[in-house]
Amino acid sequence: MATATTAVMSLQVPSSSVRSSASSFLSPSNAPAVFFVPRLFPKNIGSFKISSGRCRGGIRCLLAPEKDSEYCTKVSRNANIAKLQAGYLFPEIGRRKVAHMQKYPDAQVISLGIGDTTEPIPEVITSAMATKAHSLSTIEGYSGYGAEQGDKKLRPAIASTYYDGLGIDEQDIFVSDGAKCDISRLQLLFGSNATIAVQDPSYPAYVDSGVIIGQTGGFQTDVEKYGGIEYMRCSPGNGFFPDLSRTSRTDIIYFCSPNNPTGSSASRNQLTQLVKFARENGSIIVYDSAYAMYISDDSPRTIFEIPGAKEVAIEVSSFSKYAGFTGVRLGWTVIPKELLYSNGFPVAKDFNRIVCTGFNGASNISQAGALACLSAEGLKAMSEVVGFYKENTQIIVNTFTSLGFKVYGGKNAPYVWVHFPGQNSWDVFAEILEKTHVVTTPGSGFGPGGEGFVRVSAFGHRENILEASRRFKQMYK
Ligand SMILES: Cc1ncc(COP(=O)(O)O)c(C=O)c1O
């Protein structure tokens, strides 16, 4: 077996920075530390020992064994996965939080970072799930595999609740275990030859799943972008809506509104432009409406409010941020029957094939919970949960505004996008963590367009939001 080689890279580590980003489960405790050097990190990240392992081409095989005796299979690593620059953003934030807690064991760390929900699921929803769970212990109530596309009551309930009068019916709805899972299933549907566009900054799942499926070139460190992806810059200068006149045609356009991370939502007029653009180019929009219930103004809640969208759009959505289902897992994807490939074949038929091949349907307990979400009581309870987070958002917006920062988002989304002009996002993230013990998310983790921003999530208990605000005021007074 070839001898492992090592190289040492000397870089500067900010004192607060986490010393390892290598996934701890991949790194045996007795093994020498092995580190990623990802785009997620600030440029100066420290004195790291980087294992190049058995790699012939230099510093690349970051998790290669260092002992000659360790067994390796003959299976090559998927070259597309090797293109990824780092661990997925949010696990990375989690690792940094853990390292900070180890450094300051007595600190009360507040997490306004990864955007996970914190408030209890309303009782009307959990009791429906409990009833379903108990019924599974009875002969009459037991059920095994369900329909891959979703429960026969849930599909029409989603269609009538969220798409009433828009020409979307139950056959167009595919129930799933969450929007993120469906984003990857859609990438499988489109395949490696599809070209994609994303908002910059954007939720990282679109880009990373595109890289994994092979739609992109390598990462270009000079511009911090993957080759082959059309990055549609969304900044305060363009009202966080891309300049479509300067956007190249792609097969697929990922578009999230209200947007994670910027918190901005596209207006009816802007979405009309987007649909027109897709129709002129023969592209498919994958519209992520995971935060639609947070909209307070007259921005569309679904892309299907826009005339002509059914022929060019797919929508992914989820109960995660409405009902606290981040752990329960229940989402859906809408693929209208009108959406056709260039040869006239319905996209939904192929998606059905993907779902039947790679998925055995959402959990029956989660689906019972989803049905309860859509009852009159459930809808009311969900809007109270959303209302609670929106109050949190307002507290965060007021805090940063009172400190003289320019803040964006917040109105139609549970995210506040705080501008730190000219500063490195990871530096700001590290400084906030060090000085306040509050975890945020560095904007550059969402794409180069996020540099100079930090995303503050409004998902948190009220006392934590108030305490975080107090600490921010202390830090920036
Ligand atoms: C824009 C966006 N889409 C999808 C998801 C994931 O949703 P789910 O929990 O349904 O997988 C998230 C989660 O943060 C998100 O921000």
What ranges do the domains of the chain cover? 4-75, 110-120+381-476, 123-377
- Beta 441-442 vs 284-288: how paired, if at all? unpaired
How far is Cα 249 from Cα 456, in angstroms, rounded to an integer? 33
pLDDT at 68: 61
Ligand 1 pocket test target in 203, 412, 446 with most atoms within 8 Å of CB:
203
Atom number, ligand 1, closest to the C-alpha of residue 291: 1
Ligand 1 centroid to Cα of residue 2, in Å, is: 42
Instruction: Using alpha carbons, select from 420, 436, 416 the residue that is nearest to residue 428.
Output: 420
**Alpha-carbon distance 248 to 229, whole Å?**
10
Ligand 1: centre distance to CA 315 (Å)? 13
CB-ligand 1 contact for 315 (6 Å cutoff): no
Mean pLDDT, contiguous 10-residue spans, the chain (477 residues)? 34 30 32 38 37 38 54 96 83 91 96 94 98 98 97 98 98 98 98 98 97 97 96 98 98 98 98 98 98 97 98 98 98 98 98 97 98 98 98 98 97 98 96 97 96 98 98 95
Residue 331, strand partner residues: 176, 318
pLDDT of residue 69: 67
Burial of residue 204, with CB atoms counted within 10 A of its CB: 0-12 exposed, 13-18 middle, 19 or more buried = buried
Distance between CA atoms of residues 331 and 316, nearest Å: 8
DSSP 8-state class, residue 246: G
Q: Which two tokens stand for residue 93?
A: 């934030």
Task: Please give the pLDDT value at position 85.
Answer: 85
Does ligand 1 come within 6 angstroms of the Cβ of 114?
no
Question: Which residue's CA is minimally distant from atom 3 of ligand 1?
Answer: 290
Residue of 176, 180, 367 to test ligand 1 pocket, by largest number of atoms within 8 Å of CB:
180
Q: Is 326 in the pocket of ligand 1 (CB under 6 A)?
A: yes
* Token pair of 241 as six digits: 């809506």
Q: Which CATH architecture has domain 123-377?
A: 3-Layer(aba) Sandwich (3.40)
52 CA to centre of ligand 1 in angstroms = 34
Tokens representing 259 are 């947007």
- What is the rounded distance in angstroms from the CA atom of residue 448 to the CA atom of residue 463? 33
Structure tokens of 326?
């981040």
The CATH number, out of the four listed (3.30.420.40, 3.40.50.2300, 3.90.1150.10, 3.90.550.10), of the domain defined by the range 110-120+381-476 = 3.90.1150.10
180 Cα nearest atom in ligand 1: 11
Task: Take atom 16 of ligand 1 and give the residue whose Cα is closest.
Answer: 260
Does an H or E element contain 394, and which?
helix 376-402
The Cα-based distances of 192 to 209, 210, 314, 341 in angstroms read 10, 8, 19, 16
Encoded tokens for 337: 């029957």
Ligand 1 mean position to 50 CA, how many Å? 33
> Nearest-5° angle of CA 162, CA 339, CA 370?
30
The residue to mutate among 177, 260, 329, having the most atoms of ligand 1 within 8 angstroms of its beta carbon, is 260
Atom of ligand 1 nearest to the CA of 320: 9
Q: Sheet harboring 196-200: ordered strands across?
A: 173-176, 331-334, 313-318, 284-288, 252-256, 196-200, 229-233
Q: Which of 182, 124, 202 is nearest to 385 (CA)?
A: 124
> How far apart are alpha carbons 354 and 218 in whole angstroms?
27
